[in-house]
Structure 1
């Protein structure tokens, strides 16, 4: 019995003996838990460096602060993601746009008179071609085929048989292309023939031709009043001298 063992408890032999050899077996070595081993190593390292428990926690705190500052600096200096630059939309070329169309009325000596649809910038010749072309008896005369037509214009092609115009006979000065039975066709007459009319001088003759080329053939004698310089009195005077 051990000396420090309580008397009321029987002694227990904790030593184990090998049954074959009769020798005492060594006591098993109990390993400390991992946490305890880490504390032991930390304790030995602290003893080697001569650090106290306070100094150890100070170093740990400083290390944590340095790590936090480094992480903050890294996050603040991280470049912001810039949005991808979008390429500017390519301008729509004017050639890709649909051509603008206009509506023109074609009347007179054409094969298919009526309404035709043309592209903007078309000319009188284009309007006549869209109306089937000139008839055999057509007499475009002084009709300006190169004039650009606008939306809503009227292109009137004179008919030689209807207007009574006759071709000039070589050596015969009695009449011209714009005269018929003493009447002058204002749609085909030249400036000289218009100047020969009573009340019409060279200036008015040129104005009549300019108006005819810009607006097409006259559709009625009343339209002559649209020419600058021809009033109602002069128009009544011209009714017995001109025709369409």
Structure 2
């Protein structure tokens, strides 16, 4: 065997061994990649349930398919009570009913029929609420009277009567006679003349 070729072959083999050793050393010396933990899940947002409207009961009588007690909620209007009773029967006159008025617990609605005589004074057909026996029967109820009834009051007139009903439609029931001052066109002088003629 040629000693020159065998020596060269030995050198090549030694070089390969050294190269493999260096490669292995470098590869094992590399730091291991750290695993990144997944981001924490966001906690679910809990929303408080909406408050349940307070229930109230009204009585609907007259020309309706289902007269009787109707359960409504605070903020419901005469139209809701009428719908709960099945609506007005054909031919029933509901023009005296203020369908936009908010109802109150315990009141009675007369649909298409006049209220009993003891309730008729100062109350329009379809919304009589009873009498108190304290001399208020002759006064106009601010929460149930019609434009025609307000128009009959001294110093009111058609325009102011419309404004009173409009205030009631936009703001709900009058809580006191004093709130009549909030109606456009009713100043101190006119209010002083009306305060003894109306009630709530």
What TM-score, normalized by structure 1, do the two folds share?
0.42
TM-score (norm 2): 0.48
Larger Rg: 1
**Structure having greater relative contact order (Cα 8 Å, sep ≥ 6):** 2
